[in-house]
Structure 1
Amino acid sequence: MRKGLFMLLLVFITALLVACGDEKGDSVDELVSLDVEFIVPETADVGETVELKALVTYGDEPVTDADEVQFEVWETGKQDESDKIEAENHEDGTYTIDYTFEHDGVFEMYAHTTAHDLHTMPKKELTVGEGGNNDHEDHDHGDHGHGFHTEGFDLHFMEPENVTAGEETELMTHITMDEDGLKDANVRYEIWQDKDNTDWVDAEENNAGEYVANYSFEETGTYHIQIHVEDDEDLHEHAEYEVEVQ
């Protein structure tokens, strides 16, 4: 009888230790993060070609197969005219492009990076030649003139191209807090052509910091999209964009 009780107790203790080990393992997994070291020179000469480099790691391991690494470069105050270039994967955790700056100015850039179902978009600034006028409202945020109030918050709307009336269009926004994808936010798209007729569309979080919704624009013309972001800690930010529908 005592032997049976001892064996039963041993089985119970073993199961408890295994469960604790699994919980510990889960905690370790949750602490693994996607990190991007965005390597950009602080200055460049007019006409100079410079290398923009992203060093991507997941935990302590280099990411050799990122789903996407895209560099977006624009002159401060002109993000509507940004260049978006897919990076070359060197299969050692580094992703690069060569970029030539053709005139004086202050330029900003993102390294949009998606891997392991996570998204991050570190941001850098580079001064070319004599620089330029930095007095732009969107200098720190790249949100088309809508300054954000929360320190470390950033939002990037992937503006759709070739939108056709009557066809479903994907609306995607990447949102970060301190350059890490913002998880579990409440994101809604407020869409209108006539302010008296407004649609509200809830976005779903596909990956950490990536919020997507599908919407069919009924008519041709210019539509306004205001993106609202909230969370459980009093965060409330928004930014407005325009989309041309053919």
Structure 2
Amino acid sequence: MKKISLLVSILIIMFLAACGNPEGGAKKGEDTKAGEEELAEELKELKVDFEIPETAEPGETVELKATVTYGDEKVTDADEVVFEVWKKDKKDDSTKIDGKNHKDGTYTAEMTFEEAGVYEMYAHTTARDLHTMPKKAITVGEEEAVEGHEGHDNPEGFALHFMEPENVVVGEETELMVHLQMDEKPLEKASVQYEVNKEGQVDKETIKATEGTAGEYTGTYVFSESGTYQLKVQVKADDGIKEQKEYEIVVK
């Protein structure tokens, strides 16, 4: 009888275990599916097809057009599409134009080039917590000889975009963020720091930036007084990249 009871107990345990497997298997399957969906989301890429003509005449108005996609999805609600245009080697005199959202994944703006020369431009695009800034160039009229050179002798394809903070208030933590790209891909593992000092003062403070999303480097700073501050972004990376850009921040 003891042997029979033991056998029955074993059979009951096996039966219960068998009944539990479908649920366990289903849960495992659900976890696997969720993992696959998460991986697929991570593999999606924010892309911008930036279209402009190769040439134009002085005084001609040109359309700048960006088509934004995320994976196979057209992005109709980008956080930002801003076209930044400057005459070659004069980026400090750039002009920024907000793109018009046509609600079909396309964003456009118009630019009139009054003078002959070579003009370069970015389509700064932020969407789905990602940022990209494809670069294009257009030749207007007869190309002029260019004198001088701005910045450091960085490799072709390097790009820096500082997200200038707005409505900075005394005593509140302000986020400082810069996006770096190389050949229109996020530039990772760079060394980035911010140097801050109030206008007219010698003392400077340095903030080490950390990389979160690929190519995105952030730091925080609390401005203790109102006034105008000078902020310097300093970048060092492989392939000989060394850049330094200065910005002005007004604190209320």
TM-score by length of 1: 0.78
2:206 corresponds, among 187, 200, 211, to 200
Shift of 1:184: 7.1
1:133 corresponds, among 145, 153, 156, to 145
* Aligned amino acid, residue 37 of structure 2: G
Question: 2 CA distance for matches of 1:24 and 1:47?
Answer: 53
Shift of 1:171: 3.9
Shift of 1:203: 3.7
* Aligned amino acid, residue 159 of structure 2: D
Question: 1 CA distance for matches of 2:239 and 2:152?
Answer: 19
Q: Secondary structure at the match of 1:91?
A: coil
Shift of 1:20: 1.6
* Aligned amino acid, residue 44 of structure 2: V
Structure 2 residue aligned with 1:157? 162
Quick one: structure 1 residues 82 and 217, their matched pair in 2 at CA, closer, same or farther if it must change by over 3 Å?
farther
Quick one: structure 1 residues 29 and 185, their matched pair in 2 at CA, closer, same or farther if it must change by over 3 Å?
farther
What per-residue deviation string (whole Å, max 9, x for no partner) do you get for residues 174-216 of structure 1?
2223324456765321235799733111346686644443352
Question: 1 CA distance for matches of 2:186 and 2:247?
Answer: 24
Q: Secondary structure at the match of 2:68?
A: strand
Question: 1 CA distance for matches of 2:157 and 2:78?
Answer: 24
Structure 2 residue aligned with 1:142? none
Structure 1 residue aligned with 2:54? 42
Identity %: 46
Shift of 1:228: 3.0
**Paired residues of 2:154 and 2:241 also in contact (CA < 8 A):** no
What per-residue deviation string (whole Å, max 9, x for no partner) do you get for residues 64-114 of structure 1?
111111101000111111110101111111111111100111100010111
Q: Secondary structure at the match of 2:82?
A: strand
**Paired residues of 1:76 and 1:106 also in contact (CA < 8 A):** yes
**Paired residues of 2:196 and 2:229 also in contact (CA < 8 A):** no
* Aligned amino acid, residue 177 of structure 1: M
Decide which structure has greater helix share.
Answer: 2
Worse overlay, 71-80 or 176-185: 176-185
Compare CA radii of gyration and give the structure with the larger one: 2
Structure 2 residue aligned with 1:17? 29
Quick one: structure 1 residues 103 and 180, their matched pair in 2 at CA, closer, same or farther if it must change by over 3 Å?
same
Structure 2 residue aligned with 1:191? 196
Structure 2 residue aligned with 1:141? none
Shift of 1:147: 3.0
**1:112 equivalent in alignment to 2:120:** no
Shift of 1:121: 0.6
Structure 1 residue aligned with 2:66? 54
Question: 1 CA distance for matches of 2:174 and 2:55?
Answer: 39
Question: 1 CA distance for matches of 2:134 and 2:211?
Answer: 20
**Paired residues of 1:188 and 1:202 also in contact (CA < 8 A):** yes
Worse overlay, 86-95 or 213-222: 213-222
Structure 2 residue aligned with 1:5? 17
**Paired residues of 1:191 and 1:226 also in contact (CA < 8 A):** no
Quick one: structure 1 residues 134 and 23, their matched pair in 2 at CA, closer, same or farther if it must change by over 3 Å?
farther
Q: How many residues align?
A: 237
Q: Secondary structure at the match of 1:9?
A: helix
What per-residue deviation string (whole Å, max 9, x for no partner) do you get for residues 97-139 of structure 1?
111100111100010111111111111011100012356544x
Quick one: structure 1 residues 14 and 155, their matched pair in 2 at CA, closer, same or farther if it must change by over 3 Å?
same
**1:147 equivalent in alignment to 2:141:** no
Question: 2 CA distance for matches of 1:16 and 1:72?
Answer: 49
Structure 2 residue aligned with 1:70? 82
**Paired residues of 1:117 and 1:208 also in contact (CA < 8 A):** no
* Aligned amino acid, residue 228 of structure 1: V
Gapped regions of structure 2 (runs ≥ 5): 1-10
**1:241 equivalent in alignment to 2:235:** no
Worse overlay, 65-74 or 182-191: 182-191
